[in-house]
Structure formats: structure tokens, C-alpha cells
Structure 1
Amino acid sequence: MRRLLSVHVEAQEKLDADDRLAHISTLLRYPPPPRWRRDPRQDRPLRLRADPGLLERARAVSLRLPGQHPRAYRDYQGRMLTDAVMTAIAVAEPFTDDFLEDLLPVLRHRAAFGLWRLVTASTSTGPEKEYLVRAESLRADSWGSAALLEDWQQYLLRVAEILEREEGWHSSARFKLAVSLARMHLSGPRARAGEAWLYAQDEDFEEMYQDCLQVDDGLPKHAKRGYDWTGRGGTAVWRAERRVALEYFEDWLVGRSKGDPAAGVMEPGSPGWLLRTPAAWQAQVFPRTTAGQLPEPYARWACEGRGVGLFLPERAGRVAAAEGAGGGGLGAGDRYWAAGRCGGRAGPGEGPWIHRGRPHRVGPRVR
């Protein structure tokens, strides 16, 4: 099994991300997890002993749907390592059971994401549609136009993109719909053609996506199908909005006008949190080195508590450091945020590292 998994990972790493293979059971979350915590599992766990490096590589090339994570609530938990093992076995020796019978066993990642787009469109809640429908309308109106988009339009498109590709909510209802769509497009003699259609995502696909997105529009609330998942949909929107706000954090931090009190407050468009900087505070951005080390004298200033170093993973892993008044160094009478770790290092997995300081205020939802 270790040899088979190693061969599979090496083959996957040579492929483009869209062309990597996934097993249909991962997309459909089969077998499903127990409904209640004390219910017995329906599957049999496989104890796989392998080098940790191989397991990490296997997870990196496996299917992870938007909103899934390795460690999360049951509905949101990804099955990346399981997908790697199942795909490796299916490629070497196809297998089936009563549930998987007649389904295409292996498909490309882009095709899997195409089917999941139809699932999410059909089950999108009101808060999600507020972004997704407006984004589609904006894309159609701006198609072929050379005019630059306004800030609010760029924000709208970015939130919609994150909702579609990176953040999403999960439930048993969505996976049941995924099974129905898979039997429609990925079973029988036309399964290969269906997989190619989901992979291409052409005009016909986009029309079906729009139909799925607007399937419940105009219906009264009591006439809409099934359970109301608005709570999970609204939470997904909040996460997407917050991610966009964090992406804009560096631009705001570096681009704010010195001495302008209003420019030192980041609140509009930032859900649930408020961030202020001192009027004389400035920032500068540096490319992140392999070791994550700030250049001198900023590393020394951070160690001495005369500045703050921020690792910003949302913006290509760049490191921002506090700089003194006037842009050329620290003024003798200025007050700055205290430093984080001594030496000014920002490790690959660390978020913004800020020790207590003054004068600043951070809302309760900043993490």
C-alpha cells in the first residue's frame, strides 16, 4: 500500500492542479459520517504506516472541496488522505460496491469542482445569492469593457469568488444532492462525456449554473424546499468578507495618509472588528525571505519593542514591519506598538504576531 501510494503521489505531482485525479466517493462523501457522535461508523478505518512527508504530499494533491479542512466539524472535515488512498487503489485496480455501481470511479479535480458548483448554486441561501447573483450580473455587464471597475465592484467580485472557490458551508443535504447530480452526469454509457462537460464548464454549463442559482427565486419562504440553511450560508458569507478584509489590510496599513485620524481606522467592510493605528505610525512592506527574517534595522527594532512585525499569509506571505515617523526611522519621542518574537522572525505557519502595545484598539473578533 505504501508503494502504491508513493507511485500515485508522484504521478499526481506531475499533473496540473485541474487534471489531478480524485475518487468519486470523496466528492460524494461516501460512506457518510455517523449522524450522531455515539453512532457507529459505517466504514472500516485503514491503519497506514508511512513517512510523514509522503502523507503530507498525498494530502496536498488530493481533492478538498471549498470550505473543507483537515480538522473541522464533521460536516466540514475533508478526506484528503482517504482520497489519495482510494484513488491510488482505483487507478491500479478498479473496484465497486452497491452504492458506487455504475458511477465513474475516478474523475479530474476540475470536473469534481464543476459538479460541486452546481450543488452549491442549487442550495445557496439568501446571503450567498446576494453576492453571487450580483457578481454574475456585473461580469455580464462588464464583459468586453475596458473601463476599470470601482472599488465596491472589485470587492463584490472578490467576495463572490471566495464563496465559490474557497469558502462554503457543508451539510448532509448538499452531499445528497451531489449524489443525485453524479448519477445524472457521471453514470451510464455517457459518464465520460459528462465528466468532460463538467471539466469544460462551457456556456451550456454556465446556463445550468444560473438556472440552479435562481431555482428558488420568487417563491415564498414556506414553499422553498427542505430545511432553511441560511445560518450556515450567512456564516460562509461572513468568512468570505473577513478574508477579503484581511487581504486589503496590507494596502490599508501601508497606504494610509500620515497624520489623518480617519485613515487610521479600518472599520467599513470589515465585519465585526475595528482596528486603529497611531496618527504618526507608518508601515513598510518587505518581500518575505526563505527564513522569514526581516531586514535590519527592522528586525532589531521589533526585538527592542520599537516596532511590530506582521506576517501576512493572505498577501503572498509578505512581511510588513512598522516604521518610524517621516519614513526614515524611529523618532525619539514617538510611541509604537510593542514587538512580537525577538529577532523579528515570522515562521511559515504563524499569523500576525503582536504583543500588547499602545495606542491601539482591536475588536473582539480579531484572531
Structure 2
Amino acid sequence: MELVFKCPINSLSFGNVSINFLRELKKKNVDVTIFPNGNADVSAFDKMDNEFKVWLENCINNRFLKVDKDIPSLNLWHLNGSENRITSKQFLYTFYELNEPTDTEKSLAKLQDHVFFSSNHAKNCFDLENTSSCPLGFDNDFHKTEKEYLSNDIIHFGLIGKFEKRKNHEQIIKAWVKKYGNNFKYRLSCLIDNPFLKAEQMNAIKKQVLGNDSVGNVTFLPRLKTNSEVNDLLNAIDIDLSGLSGAEGWNLPAFNSTCLGKWSVVLNNTSHKDWANKENSILINSEENIPAYDGTFFSEGGFYNQGTINFISEDNIISSLEQAELKAKTKNPEGEELKNKFSYEKTVDTILQKIFS
């Protein structure tokens, strides 16, 4: 079984998904030829074993010797940029967060032999014959550490993901500060630096979100360099707030947190509907949809990324925080069960079955 795999290999969400796909492909003895999208950087994967690393390097270094037009290819990327193919038969695995696919996006989806969307929401938005939904799985780089990070008397909230309007970060932080600001029985750790924004832009955003107030129990963490550091953060928090995002393709931070037995406050929307429910999450309904456009990542009238996101009011956020408090120090066995329901082994099996059927 031979496969050409074009994918990003880096510390971002796409890069983490790529590495998990590749681990499974290696286990299944698939002869993989890798074309990295951008420079390959595995520094974030600090627990990567040497055998896998050597295999990965060989798959990349020998790509021009092994590539053949008759080998099917899998591209892990956005619809924007999926028009280029390496071999004649191309399958695309992609994410879609919004709700109004443009003619351009639909045309690019039709161009593929098949498109795997990460969520049922995305598949239903496109409603094309050559598409299917194929959920992601739990990332085994993350695990329980059983360490004590803060006093058990402190309720620790976490907000993870690069800063964007669609993720409702500004509303979440402002509501949290209104409810808990400078009450040191509570702490909020934010890992929200966006690598696509300049440092001065991120600093201005943080000042704007906090206003002129001095808030001693909110911490903006620098970008964490390794998955081990991210794992410590996931273990340190009691409540994840990343699930309050207004539109997602899967939401790895909220999903992985829930799989570790943490409680995540989750908006009942988009990809969240595939894995979050009232038993494993603090499930919240939004009041309305608002335009997604932020002038940076989503621009009105463009060829891509058109539509709306779910908006949640300050009062509704505060109400969800109060619900979260009641569960902060309790176990979430239903959340941990998600590791069995969703795995990268199942994801890759679904992909290979379609490609080689």
C-alpha cells in the first residue's frame, strides 16, 4: 500500500494532526512519501521516539525518488490552496468552521477525488457527493500527570487557541474578569498568542481585553514550545473555556481537555456537536449568530471563509462559569470515554478504506 502525503509538519494544530496521521500510517506499514507543506519542524514533539523520527526523515528525503503519478495522494490542508496536486488522484482532509461555503470553496471541493471533512457540520454545509465526515481522535501525546500544580482551593480556568474573533476570546476574558477578577480563589491561564500576528498586535489586544484594570489572577502565557508543556497546562486547569468558541473545525484544546477528564464549557455548535453532550461537557446554547468578519482572517465578500459565528453574551458566559464552578473538582468519566470513541487509528482506517476501496 503506497501513499503520497502532503501535509504541514509543525507545532500548530494542522501539524499535530499530521504527526498523528503519520504515526498511524507507519503502524499500518503504509509506504508513505511525504511532501511537507512548508518547512518540517518536529521540535514541538519532544517525546517523539528516534525510530519514528528517522522514518519520518526518510519519507521526506526520498520523496522525489519515490513519487509516482499512479500513487494516490492525501493532502491535509485548507480548501484554499488545495487546487495543486502532486499525483493524478488526490484526496483532501480539511477543516471548515463557518456556514456559507462560497462558489470557489465548492469548486475546489469538487476538484478533489474525495474530501474528508473533520465534522458533520462541514459536510452538511457543502452537501456534495464526493464528501464525507471523518472525525479526529485523541492525541496520545497528552496524558494525566497526577502532579499538583496549584493549591486545591484554587479553581483554575484555561483558555487555549490562537486569538481570533471567531473563538470569542475577547468576550470570554472580559466576562471572566467581571466575575472573578482579582478574586484569588480563581485563576485564568490564557494561551492565546497568534503566530500570524505581530508581537505588538498581540500586546495591544491583551491590553484592550483587560482595559485599564490591573488583574492579578489572569495570566497570558507565552507560546509553549513543546507538547509536554501543553500537556502540563491541560493537566493544571480544572475548567477549559476553549469550547466557548463560536465556530470550529474540531477544537483540539477543548476535545483533548475533555478526554483527560477535565470539564469543558462548550457552545453547542459546528463541530462540537460531534463529540460534546450534556454528560461529558457543560453544554451551552448561544443566543444568536453574528458575521464572522474580522478584517484579518475573515473578510466579507472574499472567495473564502464567509458566513457567521455563534455569539454568546456576557451574562450567558458568566452563567456558564457558575455552572462550571460546581463541577471544577469532580471527575468526568464520560469525557474520558471519548478517547475510546474517537481515535486516530479509526480516523486513518476510514481514510485508507476510502482511498484504496
Shorter-chain TM-score bucket reads under 0.3
TM-score between both structures, scaled by the size of structure 2: 0.26
Higher strand share: 2
Could you say which structure has the larger radius of gyration?
1
- Higher RCO structure (Cα 8 Å, ≥6 apart): 2
Q: How high is the TM-score relative to the length of structure 1? A: 0.25
